[in-house]
Structure 1
Amino acid sequence: MYSWTDTLRFAFQPVVNLRTGAVAALEALARPESGDILAEARRDPELDGVLAVLALRAVARRETMLPLHLNVFAATLADLGGLTPLHDAVRAVGRLPWEVTLDIVPPCTHVPQRALLEAVAALREQGFRICADGIGEGDVPLRLLTDLSPDLVKLDASLLARPAAVRAMRTLCEELGALVAVEGVETEAQCAAAVAAGAQLAQGELFAPPARIPVADVYVPPRSPGSPAMPRSGPSVREFVRPAAILPTTASAGQVRALLTGSPDVSGVLLVDQVGRPVRSVHRSRFLLSMSGPYGHALYADRPARKLGDVPRTVGIHATAWEVLDVVAVGGSDRTSDDVAVVDEHGRCVGTVRLADLVRALAESRVEEAAGLNPLTRLPGSDAITGEVDRWIAGGRAFALSWLDIDHFKQVNDGAGFAAGDELIRSVGRALQQTVAGHARVGHIGGDDFLVLADEAVPVTLVASVLDAPWSVAGRPVTLSLATVVCAPGSVGDHRQAAAHLAPLKKAAKELSGASWVLGLAGLPGHEVRRGVPGAGSARVGYAAAEPGS
């Protein structure tokens, strides 16, 4: 008997990691030979649920190990209260729920939001990952997007023409702990714009069009030399996650060998328990070496693979690249090439990261950072510090932003020569670095001006060790001025607002005589004078020291 499923086919489009250039997942797209099945599914939740199951089975027939993206309308979830048949189908095809991301597709305006959120909560409990799809073209209310707290947000490529909107979404996603993807990328210019805006993932015709057979190789434009550097505090491990090759802990060595020999790009296999927690890590080279030795296959083929594995190295999904390197550094040198498993808050594996990807990205970060160092002090410039301020703001951290300069610095150059002035600037920079080493970021923003980003308590140490130190050159003392604005979470929206609050404090500090320190709170009027004498700022004199106490 004829069925509408007889003419239904599926195409697969890769989701690409913009940093590693690897395929991070596959999205299954319905391609009926006749009729508009998607329009019908939008009106019929039961049909939409069936489509999701059929898409899953179509992927399973291709025997791909990549994570999957399945589309489902928001109204379907609200109406059905979840997708029980899909959960059963996932188990039936031998996949795990956390390998499947559900792309929630608009419209959303007339969907009962409470029912939708309850359905999403139930799907999360089962282990499915959640993506908010069609942002920028759809009608997803901002409040609903926040309440959904998705693992991934897909932006329409049309938003790339409005970079401020993309940056705002990136900031929101950082707050929600979500990755940002851009879909519909067709040109290299759009790809570059997505990278510049901070998107971690993308898909579109540029990388690979939808195809009946999933592709493993995609085109990713080379990163331009001017691409923005990653934060010094370290890019998130989420940006480097690759799909993991996973087998149950009961797998035999023969099953692992079949997987590795059939997938030359797989560098290792993770053996996971029933809920997806890594139990053993099987490294490709060491495993195949054991199997290829004398009598190796006869000895091991039918034995549990876990006997040839190691304790897995794991990091949390919120770790930074630097933290991954710390994990790799622990243990024997023979395991430095092992993949590191990335686990969610429940300890379930969501993928792996490769050391080569991290080292490459961190090396690029160091090169970019070195290019921005001030040649006199070798301290980072204003871009590095203000970028760090924005990251602290996005992370909801309280902080103190301090500006420091040398009073009447021109008199040093005029009276003692520019060489003495340069040495003074270097000395102040060294003193700042030594005082706050490991506790703050120090930047040299030009001339005799410095910025210090730190926790609220650090400026007190700064004052005692640097501001109050006796500085002199050629027997003539000069002083330093310090202005600090303390920013509580939510008090400023970005580094520009923080700088705007700092500006009047700087002016107030310069109007004082002697070593001065003015402290203010962002969003509150007035300031407190911690050091300095009012009314005699213009009477300050002269030269400054090459070293404190000289």
Structure 2
Amino acid sequence: MHPWTDTLRFAFQPVVNLTTGGIAALEVLARPEAGDILAEARRDPELDGRLAVLAVRSAARKETLLPLHLNVFAGTLADLGGLGPLHEAVRQAGRLPWEITVDIGPPFTHVPQQALLDAVAALRGAGFRVSVDGVGDGDLPVRLLVDLAPDLVKLDGALLARPAAIRAMRTLCDQLGALLSVEGVETELQYRRAVAAGAQLGQGELFAPPARLPVSEVYVPLRSPEVSSRSRPGPSVREFVRPAALLPDTASAGQVRALLTGSPDVSGVLLVDRDGVPVRSLHRTRFLLSLSGRYGHALYADRPAARLGDVPRVVGADATAWEVLDVVADGGRDRTSEDVAAVDRYGRCVGVVRLADLVRALAESRVEEAAGLNPLTRLPGSDAITGEVDRRIADGRSFALSWLDVDHFKQVNDGAGFAAGDDLIRSVGRALQHVASDSTRVGHIGGDDFLALTDPDGLDPLAASVLDTPFSAAGRPITLSLATILCVPGSVMDHRQAAACLAPLKKAAKSLTGASWVLGRAGLPGHEIRRGTGPSTSPTGFAVAEPLG
């Protein structure tokens, strides 16, 4: 045994769910009091593997039920082929493999990639989860990251100053089915940037510093309406998953009772089979009442706890919050307060979802959505559209941003009265709502100004809906002006740049006679006149263009 084991200590830093504010896991960090053990471990795979084993044993002595993250160098995995001793240490600690996430850290240069991929496959086959650490400031090739297909990607804190990079990584993680975490969060500004950019988990001094004892509470700032309004629509279950209290399906009722009485924050226990698949669900209150009744302890304490459980309610980890509510609604009324198990594609439990978290988040989103609606048309304002523009830019999607307004609207109000003007605005709003869909977003900025965001092939249906519809006010025909900027990947950096490109097109459309439509392309001079006539022509001399389709 190495002499440094007597002076080696471990610290615990929480991994925080940025949506619920709860602790999702604990990262176990080696803290040697003498010597540079970590530098030596980078060169010695056997030593690095030994540190992972000691980390598990250290956590077992602290009696924490939270999932654990263990740090291992990429070279260690490639050399040892799967960390065999770690499997036995996890078993001896009374842990299940799927409660352990192996954080693979750099350097990756000169590590045999196939050996690393084979080792990761062996870990997954044993039930362990895999994270890639230090992404963004290390030497990890993107191709290798994709091949590893981790369950979690941890970004270096330096990227907090580059939110576009975080958004791009969130898009990649969504494709891989991985969660995204940001490390090194030290200020509330950095926290807001992480949330706005799409990070789901976080670590850093702001929440809680590494400590010798696992913490039970962390500091999480209140999410501002500005941050919340930019979150992605249709919240996924992954954003609300909490750690689950798991026991093997062979556990006795006495073992479950000991876990519950020693952990007052645990609302229930899931019994899982050898593969980590939930087979029975034990609700805290109902279970303890069964044992506290007359002869209850004598009848059940030494018998399988599964006899007192229910069939677990299960959803996929990629389900939406609304799908979880459907599962809850289909259950009995006495189970509405019970946690729902979230499972991966293999059916293994990855955590639980609490109904209260979902209801709170959905209620907040509805309140924010209602606050952003224009009272006249009930269409969302500009924030909803510009937020979606930024998401499409981050996703590398082509899109068309259009501005629409009523020609000579002031004369309508002055001549026919504001009531007629309001009726006209409602009519235009209804026409836009007819073309709204998942790919076409419409909004009302205010007054007679509207915004529409579409895929390029959705432009012609949008134009036909608003320009071919006969509008009138007090018996007078009314025409509309439409200006569109077509943006391909890389042509604009954010919604502000897209709006700046749109501004001169708006002026060009207003200079034409009758229902008008001009279209420009971001980064290219000039514009096309697609509808309308007038004395001026576009700088490029384009005539009315053919449809984009």
2:167–2:394 Cα contact (<8 Å) kept? no
Map of 1:89 onto structure 2: 89
Map of 1:448 onto structure 2: 448
1:445–1:451 Cα contact (<8 Å) kept? yes
Structure 2 residue 425 is matched with structure 1 residue 425: yes
1:146–1:176 Cα contact (<8 Å) kept? yes
Map of 1:544 onto structure 2: none
Matches within 5 A, 1:361-380: 361-380=361-380
Structure 2 residue 304 is matched with structure 1 residue 304: yes
1:16–1:201 Cα contact (<8 Å) kept? yes
2:46–2:76 Cα contact (<8 Å) kept? yes
Q: Shift of residue 206 of structure 1?
A: 3.3
Q: How high is the TM-score relative to the length of structure 1? A: 0.84
- Alignment CA distance shift 1:16-1:232 (3 Å): closer
Q: Shift of residue 52 of structure 1?
A: 1.1
Stretch deviating more after TM superposition (219-228 or 511-520): 511-520
Structure 2 residue 145 is matched with structure 1 residue 140: no
1:253–1:302 Cα contact (<8 Å) kept? yes
Q: Shift of residue 223 of structure 1?
A: 3.6
Map of 1:106 onto structure 2: 106
Map of 1:213 onto structure 2: 213
Stretch deviating more after TM superposition (156-165 or 277-286): 156-165
- Alignment CA distance shift 1:11-1:436 (3 Å): closer
Stretch deviating more after TM superposition (391-400 or 463-472): 391-400
Matches within 5 A, 1:354-503: 354-391=354-391, 403-433=403-433, 436=436, 440-453=440-453, 467-481=467-481
Looking at structure 2, the residues matched to 77 and 148 of structure 1 have their Cα atoms a distance apart, in angstroms, of 12
Looking at structure 1, the residues matched to 527 and 104 of structure 2 have their Cα atoms a distance apart, in angstroms, of 49
1:513–1:537 Cα contact (<8 Å) kept? no
Map of 2:124 onto structure 1: 124
Stretch deviating more after TM superposition (68-77 or 418-427): 418-427
Looking at structure 1, the residues matched to 502 and 334 of structure 2 have their Cα atoms a distance apart, in angstroms, of 51
Looking at structure 2, the residues matched to 264 and 80 of structure 1 have their Cα atoms a distance apart, in angstroms, of 40
For residue 346 of structure 1, give the secondary structure of its aligned residue in structure 2. Answer: coil
- Alignment CA distance shift 1:2-1:386 (3 Å): closer
For residue 228 of structure 2, give the secondary structure of its aligned residue in structure 1. Answer: coil
Map of 1:546 onto structure 2: none
Map of 1:258 onto structure 2: 258
For residue 472 of structure 2, give the secondary structure of its aligned residue in structure 1. Answer: strand
Looking at structure 2, the residues matched to 313 and 455 of structure 1 have their Cα atoms a distance apart, in angstroms, of 38
Map of 1:249 onto structure 2: 249
Looking at structure 1, the residues matched to 205 and 335 of structure 2 have their Cα atoms a distance apart, in angstroms, of 38
For residue 361 of structure 1, give the secondary structure of its aligned residue in structure 2. Answer: helix
Looking at structure 1, the residues matched to 420 and 273 of structure 2 have their Cα atoms a distance apart, in angstroms, of 67
Map of 2:541 onto structure 1: none
Stretch deviating more after TM superposition (52-61 or 494-503): 494-503
2:168–2:394 Cα contact (<8 Å) kept? no
Looking at structure 2, the residues matched to 346 and 493 of structure 1 have their Cα atoms a distance apart, in angstroms, of 39
Looking at structure 2, the residues matched to 203 and 178 of structure 1 have their Cα atoms a distance apart, in angstroms, of 17
Map of 2:546 onto structure 1: none
Residue-by-residue CA offset, 1:96-136 (whole Å, 9 max, x unaligned): 22221111122223333343333333323333222222234
1:175–1:395 Cα contact (<8 Å) kept? no
Map of 2:339 onto structure 1: 339
Map of 2:62 onto structure 1: 62
Map of 2:277 onto structure 1: 277
Q: Which runs of 5+ in 2 are unaligned?
A: 538-549
Looking at structure 1, the residues matched to 2 and 131 of structure 2 have their Cα atoms a distance apart, in angstroms, of 35
Structure 2 residue 350 is matched with structure 1 residue 353: no
For residue 104 of structure 1, give the secondary structure of its aligned residue in structure 2. Answer: strand
For residue 101 of structure 2, give the secondary structure of its aligned residue in structure 1. Answer: strand
Map of 2:71 onto structure 1: 71
- Alignment CA distance shift 1:119-1:503 (3 Å): farther
Looking at structure 2, the residues matched to 152 and 105 of structure 1 have their Cα atoms a distance apart, in angstroms, of 12
Q: Shift of residue 232 of structure 1?
A: 6.5
Looking at structure 2, the residues matched to 506 and 225 of structure 1 have their Cα atoms a distance apart, in angstroms, of 30
Looking at structure 1, the residues matched to 349 and 272 of structure 2 have their Cα atoms a distance apart, in angstroms, of 8
Count of residues paired in the alignment: 537
Percent of residue pairs bearing the same amino acid type? 78
AA aligned to 1:345 is R
AA aligned to 1:107 is P
Q: Shift of residue 309 of structure 1?
A: 2.2
Map of 1:10 onto structure 2: 10
Looking at structure 2, the residues matched to 338 and 299 of structure 1 have their Cα atoms a distance apart, in angstroms, of 25
Q: Shift of residue 17 of structure 1?
A: 1.8
Matches within 5 A, 1:169-184: 169-184=169-184
Looking at structure 2, the residues matched to 312 and 397 of structure 1 have their Cα atoms a distance apart, in angstroms, of 40
AA aligned to 1:263 is S
2:241–2:342 Cα contact (<8 Å) kept? yes
1:501–1:522 Cα contact (<8 Å) kept? yes
Looking at structure 2, the residues matched to 309 and 524 of structure 1 have their Cα atoms a distance apart, in angstroms, of 66
Looking at structure 2, the residues matched to 161 and 386 of structure 1 have their Cα atoms a distance apart, in angstroms, of 21
Looking at structure 2, the residues matched to 396 and 289 of structure 1 have their Cα atoms a distance apart, in angstroms, of 55
Looking at structure 2, the residues matched to 252 and 349 of structure 1 have their Cα atoms a distance apart, in angstroms, of 20
2:108–2:139 Cα contact (<8 Å) kept? yes
1:174–1:395 Cα contact (<8 Å) kept? no
2:328–2:336 Cα contact (<8 Å) kept? yes
Q: Shift of residue 138 of structure 1?
A: 3.1
For residue 14 of structure 2, give the secondary structure of its aligned residue in structure 1. Answer: strand
Looking at structure 2, the residues matched to 283 and 113 of structure 1 have their Cα atoms a distance apart, in angstroms, of 45
For residue 116 of structure 2, give the secondary structure of its aligned residue in structure 1. Answer: helix
Q: How high is the TM-score relative to the length of structure 2? A: 0.84
Map of 2:544 onto structure 1: none
Looking at structure 1, the residues matched to 86 and 533 of structure 2 have their Cα atoms a distance apart, in angstroms, of 73
Residue-by-residue CA offset, 1:133-190 (whole Å, 9 max, x unaligned): 2234433344443443332222333433444444444444344433232323344444
Q: Which runs of 5+ in 1 are unaligned?
A: 539-550
Map of 1:287 onto structure 2: 287
Residue-by-residue CA offset, 1:206-238 (whole Å, 9 max, x unaligned): 333323322222233344455432546222222
Map of 1:543 onto structure 2: none
- Alignment CA distance shift 1:462-1:494 (3 Å): same
Aligned CA RMSD, in angstroms, stands at 3.6
Stretch deviating more after TM superposition (376-385 or 39-48): 376-385
Residue-by-residue CA offset, 1:372-413 (whole Å, 9 max, x unaligned): 333432321122123234445656778776554333434423
AA aligned to 1:451 is L
Q: Shift of residue 350 of structure 1?
A: 0.5
Looking at structure 2, the residues matched to 197 and 399 of structure 1 have their Cα atoms a distance apart, in angstroms, of 20
